[in-house]
Amino acid sequence: MKKQILTEEAALKKLKRIALEVAERNFNEKELLLIGIKENGIVIAQIISKLMKDVFTGSISVVALSMNKKKPTTITIEKDIDVDGKTILLIDDVANSGRTMLYALKPLLEKHPKKIQTLALVERTHKTFPVDVDYVGLSISTTLNEHITIEVGEDKVMGAWME
């Protein structure tokens, strides 16, 4: 049975709060690089970028990171970007086990970023990989059998469901 855990309005409210928190914690940074994990993470990254425009004085770049979440052997970053000395915000829709974010960090750590932070709209409270999410919209306790899905449109989050 599918149970809605976030409506479109609630998701937007949470994303607005997160955007303010990101701007507040990074107010000294001249540049933020938002890396969204495809498919849903990039949409969330673009939303966060738009929401931060009025509250963050530095520049914001958004790029997509692609990977097979089941077998993350090849990780591709959309543009050839220089992350050396930059502050990165790695974004995904749901932090389930921590595995996707951990693998997504690998190519970023091969360069030398100044700081890496993580963001997930929904975080499950049990992790099998040691990844702590810095910015979370909703933290939810689930059983291992329950699955969380986030539905996104072109420029918005339509909701989140647990089944």
pLDDT tens-place string over residues 101-114: 999 998 898 889 99
Task: Give the pTM.
Answer: 0.94
Nearest of 133, 147, 162, 145 to residue 41 by alpha carbon: 133
What's the mean per-residue pLDDT of the chain? 92
Q: How far is CA 93 from the centre of its chain?
A: 6
Arithmetic mean of pLDDT, 2-14: 96
* Radius of gyration over every alpha carbon of the chain, rounded to an integer in angstroms: 15
What does the alpha-carbon distance between residue 70 and residue 129 come to, in Å, rounded to a whole number?
Answer: 14
Residue 115 has pLDDT above 80, yes or no: yes
Provide the 3-class DSSP secondary structure of residue 109.
helix
- Torsion angle of the four alpha carbons 54, 136, 79, 108, in this order, in degrees rounded to the nearest 10: 130
Nearest to 120 by CA among 133, 102, 132: 133
Longest dimension (CA), the chain: 46
Order of strands, sheet of 115-124, starting from the edge strand that comes earlier in the sequence:
75-77, 59-67, 31-37, 87-95, 115-124, 135-140
3-162: which CATH topology?
A: Rossmann fold (3.40.50)
Q: Above 80 in pLDDT, residue 126?
A: no
Supply the pLDDT for residue 22: 98
Residue 24, C-beta contacts closer than 8 angstroms, at least 6 positions apart: none
Determine contact, residues 134/120, Cβ cutoff 8 Å.
no
